[in-house]
Structure 1
Amino acid sequence: MLVNAALMGLGNVNRNLLTILANKADRLQRDHGIGFRIVLIADSRGVAVDPAGFDPAEVVARKAAGATTRDFAGYRGAIPVESLLTSEGIALVFEASPVDLRTGGPGLALTRAALQQGVSVVLANKGPVVLAFRELHAMAAQTGAGLKYSATVCGGLPVLNIGRRDMIAGDILRLRGVFNATSNFILDEMAAGVSYHEALAEAQRRGIAEADPSLDVDGWDTANKLLIIVNSLLGADISLRDIAVTGIAGVTPEMIAAEAARGHVIKLVASAEAGRYAVAPMVLPDADFLAQCKGWEMGVEMHTDIYGINYHKLWEREPTPTAASMLRDAVHIFTAPGRA
């Protein structure tokens, strides 16, 4: 099977996806009988189309050299991707454009249009499922299009897959997680005696935190991931208004040092239990599973009715695992039982 696909966004995640597609093409064909032909690429400069398929390694190399879609043959200008899906025979969209949590931006518009046309969508951009979770699932169900987004939650850590595919007939009764590496890094630096502002500046210097880090340090990135998990795995239908959110700005090195003297650590923890949802700095015993999530690590703890207590952790410093999660989702969509 050869699937015609479009790439929305040519940032780090989709460039890593292209590298994986270049390196793993034979493995995908051998193990899963599938290949992905990238016939459309889009970035902030516009859209380029090649019905024969772009060479993934060439796209990565040219982007690294400073090229944009404007520099590729088949450049069509800054036109909506959704207008080309049917005419170019596209069956799948890899959506990794910048997150817009106010309006959803072009990512939400494209996801809606693709699903309405029966085109499957794999998301790394969490905006569409945060803002329109039920709507998008209803569209996918109506048209038969695939909709998957495991890359939106903890990158390569398969939280959604574990809950959906592996806990058959099970219920998650309680869930906790450390979902944001930026906040985790800052808290670790503060544990070494660095001030919050110095730790934040260092995170920005290293490229861990954005110039505007509020989404991370104010707890909203963690809340977005909690919302997706809760709506996907716990049978809930919540919005961000249903999550009590407190960031880490109020945590001081003195507070961290005082807790360390008691054998405790402070982590930014997402929690869901008995219909209560929260993100907040939490004091944890040093031996606690989440307390052991250091620096670049993210982790999730799931208490279930029939599968015991599950603990899962991931170290992810670069976007390759997130890109691999997008590939995993795409393979699952097109190799599901009953799919032609």
Structure 2
Amino acid sequence: MSTKVAFIGFGGVGQSLAGLFLKQKESLNKKYGFDPVVVAVSDLMKGSIYHSEGLDMEKVLDSVKETGNVENYPNQQGLVKGWSSLETIKHSNADIIVEVTFTDVNTGQPAIDHCKTAFNHKKSVVTTNKGPVALAYNELSALAEENDVFWGFEGTVMSGTPALRMPVTTLAGNEITEIKGILNGTTNYILTEMEKGETFQDALEKAQSLGYAEADPTSDIEGHDVRYKAAILANYLMDTPIAAEDIYCKGISDLTVDQIKEALNNNQKWRLLARITKEDGTVKASVKPELVDNDDPLAGISGPTNAIVYECDLAGPIMLTGAGAGLTETAYSLLIDMIHYHRQHALTKI
């Protein structure tokens, strides 16, 4: 049985996932019985197409590559063009919505409305947008449960590294008392370069030239990106609603080369850490630069790599490390969510 998929947003991550569908088609079907059929693509800049029986994704990707627009896809009977994102969610026959739009992380829009609309129309969602999870987790979780649909958001914290699913499944039975981690590769790269003697500004420019940092790096260097991830971890793993704006947040822009050198001389390193702690039923969270001793596993995390440590009452400290960004890695996180959707949800309906 095929799973019908609609892309809402079709930038680099969406196109990478479409490429994975093509590349992994036989493997996905053979290993998991998962056969994704893309019926719709809707993108604010690239246009919108829908066909109830499925689109030829090679032709869709070729159209985007050649013209920057999906609506140059060859005409065929039954093809619909020009639907908005909400029309696509409401009127397509998709089982699952891949929500990868450009979303304002401060408001969570338009992704929050896309999720609400999908759930209200009995459609599941996988997304890499932090906004809906950080800002509306309880409301959206309840809505998904009420409509018996799946909501996957693994890629919101560490891209393709399973920072959310791993503790829920593999560490089941433990109480996690603290989560701390390096959750932004841009800032960790900058700090690593500063340890080599680079100034903050030179390290930032180098990060931008390598594609690790945006032209406007504020969200990264001031810790805002990590603050949203901390809110997601608190909501999902600590089962405690914490608003992102209530999390203390300080970035790395004030750190100097002298401070970095002084730390190194004291066998320590500066790392921008998210820290979520549960004590006596109360959960507290912060994002700030912290000094870690050289023998701390997080001190050894260099460059754009991410890492997270779960303090467990039974297993002790467990560290997970891996890439926290990248088109393929982020697309992979969506694919993993979709395989879990297929296992947990679709198979119960056969």
TM-score range, shorter chain: over 0.9
Deviation at 1:66, TM superposition (A): 4.2
Provide the residue aligned with 2:167 in structure 1: 163
For the residues of structure 2 that align with 1:152 and 1:64, how far apart are their CA atoms? Answer: 27
Superposition map of 1:1-340 within 5 A: 1-45=1-45, 46-73=47-74, 74=79, 76-77=81-82, 79-273=83-277, 274=279, 275-315=283-323, 318-336=326-344, 339-340=348-349
Query: What letter matches 2:305 in structure 1?
Result: E
CA gap of 1:42–1:258, structure 2 versus 1, over 3 A, is same
Deviation at 1:76, TM superposition (A): 2.4
CA gap of 1:317–1:164, structure 2 versus 1, over 3 A, is closer
**After the TM superposition, which of the residue ranges 328-337 and 215-224 deviates more from structure 2?**
328-337
CA gap of 1:28–1:227, structure 2 versus 1, over 3 A, is same
Give the SS at the match of 1:112. Answer: helix
Query: What letter matches 1:128 in structure 2?
Result: P
**After the TM superposition, which of the residue ranges 126-135 and 50-59 deviates more from structure 2?**
50-59
Question: Under a length normalisation based on structure 1, what TM-score does the superposition of the two structures give?
Answer: 0.95
1:251-279 residue CA offsets vs partner (Å, 9 max, x unmatched) = 11111011111111111010011322111
**After the TM superposition, which of the residue ranges 146-155 and 85-94 deviates more from structure 2?**
85-94
Give the SS at the match of 2:164. Answer: helix
Structure 2 unaligned spans of 5+: none
1:183-242 residue CA offsets vs partner (Å, 9 max, x unmatched) = 111111111221111211222222211111111100011111111111101111110133
For the residues of structure 2 that align with 1:156 and 1:147, how far apart are their CA atoms? Answer: 16
Give the SS at the match of 1:103. Answer: coil
**After the TM superposition, which of the residue ranges 117-126 and 163-172 deviates more from structure 2?**
163-172
1:45-103 residue CA offsets vs partner (Å, 9 max, x unmatched) = 331112232233333343333422232344622x4322233532111001111131232
CA gap of 1:130–1:315, structure 2 versus 1, over 3 A, is closer
For the residues of structure 1 that align with 2:166 and 2:325, how far apart are their CA atoms? Answer: 22
Question: Under a length normalisation based on structure 2, what TM-score does the superposition of the two structures give?
Answer: 0.92
Query: What letter matches 2:348 in structure 1?
Result: R
Q: What RMSD, in angstroms, separates the aligned Cα atoms of the two structures?
A: 1.7
Deviation at 1:181, TM superposition (A): 0.6
Deviation at 1:297, TM superposition (A): 0.8
For the residues of structure 2 that align with 1:180 and 1:317, how far apart are their CA atoms? Answer: 9
Give the SS at the match of 2:310. Answer: strand
Contact 2:157 2:324 in 1 (8 A): no
Q: What count of residue pairs does the alignment treat as equivalent?
A: 339
Give the SS at the match of 1:65. Answer: helix
CA gap of 1:316–1:236, structure 2 versus 1, over 3 A, is closer
